[in-house]
């Protein structure tokens, strides 16, 4: 078998069908889909029953343990040479697997490798193209730290994931944590956009948790001590994390915490996005005073 697709899901019965059918509609047909139900309490089981006549679809139930454990569970049960991922609120375009297959064939004979594609961003009826533009002056570990890439855009040889799995202790940034650990393997960027990331009311990311994760990523006890990451990249990532926290506080009109977060972001890169920072402070201060 060529591809195993790991699809973790938790209480997404209203979105799951679109994800499953996008796999069934692939033009490349040598695949298995492993759906890992992370302890759903909605109608997920009933939805999956509608597709189990397709023998390529496997169902695994586990007690709720978060997505890293669910993905690892799928990886351990995978039979494909290459492993792909799909979130239950996203979907593939019909050429997703064939694009990966064609690139793999081009590199036939190479050691175990990693591939990733571009994605579309879907906001209701609106769809935008998101492009990852690699900077040739940076190592690929640094590329991923500056522009984290979600698992559904990846295709990874099974041998790589047999030795390195997602860390179940990490809830935010667990993907970047894994990408850094497997950074020594060959990586191929495919500029085609074959995956769709869907944004909806139930999809959110905690900027505060992201900031905490990024700080931990650079702590002395973390794996980054084993790879070379420039101080410039480190400063940029920490600046962006604190800036994102500041944006979150701006949305909540928490003036003091916003200023504190922007101060920390300025500590790492004082002049970067300076006008934007000052504009945020001015707007928030004006609103704070008037109210």
Residue 28 contacts residue 56 (beta carbons within 8 Å): no
Q: Pick the range with the lowest mean pLDDT from 122-136, 149-163, 204-218, 266-280.
A: 204-218
Angle at 283 between CA 279 and CA 284, to 5 degrees: 115
* pLDDT(80) > 90: yes
Interatomic CA distance for residues 136 and 145, integer angstroms: 15
pLDDT tier at 153, thresholds 50, 70, 90 = very high
pLDDT for res 131: 76
pLDDT at 223: 67
- Give me the pLDDT at residue 201, please: 66
What's the pLDDT score for residue 291?
Answer: 58
Q: How far apart are CA 275 and CA 95, in angstroms?
A: 42
Alpha-carbon dihedral sign for residues 145, 148, 151, 156: negative
**Contact yes or no for 201/175 (Cβ under 8 A):** no
Per the CB < 8 A criterion, the answer to whether 155 and 190 are in contact is: no
Residues 127-147, mean pLDDT to the nearest whole number = 82
pTM of the predicted protein model: 0.85
Comparison of pLDDT for 256 and 206, the residue scoring more: 256
């Amino acid at each position: 078998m060529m591809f195993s697709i790991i699809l973790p899901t938790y209480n997404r019965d209203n979105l799951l069908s679109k994800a499953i059918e996008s796999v069934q509609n692939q033009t490349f047909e040598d695949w298995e889909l492993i759906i890992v139900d992370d302890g759903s309490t909605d109608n997920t089981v009933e939805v999956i029953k509608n597709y189990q006549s397709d023998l390529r679809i496997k169902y695994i139930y586990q007690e709720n343990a978060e997505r890293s454990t669910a993905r690892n569970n799928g990886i351990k049960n995978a039979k494909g040479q290459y492993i792909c991922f799909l979130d239950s609120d996203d979907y593939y375009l019909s050429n997703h697997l064939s694009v990966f297959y064609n690139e793999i064939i081009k590199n036939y004979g190479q050691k175990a490798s990693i591939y990733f594609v571009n994605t579309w961003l879907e906001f209701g009826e609106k769809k935008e193209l998101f492009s990852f533009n690699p900077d040739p002056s940076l190592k690929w570990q640094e590329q991923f730290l500056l522009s984290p890439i979600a698992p559904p855009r990846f295709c990874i040889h099974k041998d790589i994931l047999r030795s390195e799995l997602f860390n179940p202790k990490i809830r935010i940034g667990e993907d970047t944590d894994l990408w850094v650990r497997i950074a020594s393997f060959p990586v191929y960027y495919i500029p085609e956009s074959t995956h769709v990331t869907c944004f909806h009311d139930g999809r959110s990311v905690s900027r505060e948790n992201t900031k905490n994760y990024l700080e931990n990523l650079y702590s002395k006890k973390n794996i980054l001590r084993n790879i070379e990451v420039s101080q410039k990249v480190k400063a940029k990532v920490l600046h962006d994390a604190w800036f994102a926290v500041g944006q979150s506080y701006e949305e909540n009109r928490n003036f003091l915490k916003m200023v504190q977060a922007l101060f920390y972001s300025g500590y790492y890169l004082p002049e970067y996005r300076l006008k934007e920072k000052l504009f945020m402070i001015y707007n928030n201060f004006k609103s704070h005073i008037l109210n």
